[in-house]
Structure 1
Amino acid sequence: MGDLGRADEAVPLFERALAIIEAALGPDHPRAKAIQQVLSEAVQQQRHTTPNTSVRHHTS
């Protein structure tokens, strides 16, 4: 996931998955813990990436 640069799309999906897993299996279940870890990594990546903006260079 880290190499793809799509954290903005991934974070809401992981949040939803975490809510479903926690409701079904509980917050201490290993699957919930795994999703929490991946979600944490996606949020970190999201904070470190900046939106793609085009930069125009003006020449004199």
Structure 2
Amino acid sequence: MKIEIELPEQLPHGHAGSFKKGVADALLKGVSTRLEHTPTGHELSREKGKEIGTHLTRRIAEITKE
């Protein structure tokens, strides 16, 4: 499945972390287990999520003013 999201054109210098925290806050709202816990058998799904998070991190870095 492909989902398109619209990122801001630019973020002020030093704001990438706050932007990512906001995204994480929204994504993790309602999670019923501790963040560090991955239920047995869910490891592959967590790794796939990390891959997408890494891609987002690179894209956010591209829009952050230096």
TM-score normalized by structure 2? 0.45
Tell which structure's C-alpha radius of gyration is larger. 1
Greater helix percent: which structure?
Answer: 1
Which structure has more relative contact order (CA 8 Å, sep 6+)? It is 2
TM-score of the pair, normalised by structure 1: 0.48
